[in-house]
Amino acid sequence: MSDNRVVQGRMVTAQKLAEMIEDDSIMEVDSIAEADRECPDCGGNVLEVTYMPSVTELVTGWKCQDCDWSEDDRD
Ligand SMILES: [Zn+2]
């Protein structure tokens, strides 16, 4: 997926964004979208990205476009 977004002033790919949330390398990005929520820290725009850190895991992650805040939801 070649969907680039600006995060904290830098242009990043969906893959790079997922790696920022995971703080590690990931296998594959499934989808990226604008999340229907605001950053709890700064009120900025939040991106939602679904990714696979490994073959057996599918994780939904959120990352603020303006600050360091991120969150993930793994089953
Ligand atoms: Zn923020």
Residue 24 is predicted with a pLDDT of 96
For ligand 1, the distance from its centroid to the CA atom of residue 14, given in whole angstroms, is 18
Domains of the chain, CATH where assigned: 5-74 (3.10.450)
For ligand 1, the distance from its centroid to the CA atom of residue 70, given in whole angstroms, is 8
Label residue 1 by pLDDT band (50, 70, 90): very low
- pLDDT tens figures, 11-64: 999 999 999 999 999 999 999 999 999 999 999 999 999 999 999 999 999 999
Amino acid at 60: T
For ligand 1, the distance from its centroid to the CA atom of residue 68, given in whole angstroms, is 6
Extract long-range pairs of 52-59: CB within 8 Å, 24+ residues apart.
52/26, 52/27, 52/28, 53/22, 53/24, 53/26, 53/27, 54/27, 55/27, 58/30, 59/22
Angle at 51 between CA 60 and CA 7, to 5 degrees: 80
Q: Is beta strand 28-38 parallel, antiparallel or unpaired with respect to 45-54? A: antiparallel
For ligand 1, the distance from its centroid to the CA atom of residue 56, given in whole angstroms, is 30
With 70 as the cut, is the pLDDT of residue 75 above it? no
Please give the model's pTM, rounded to 2 decimal places: 0.91
For ligand 1, the distance from its centroid to the CA atom of residue 55, given in whole angstroms, is 30
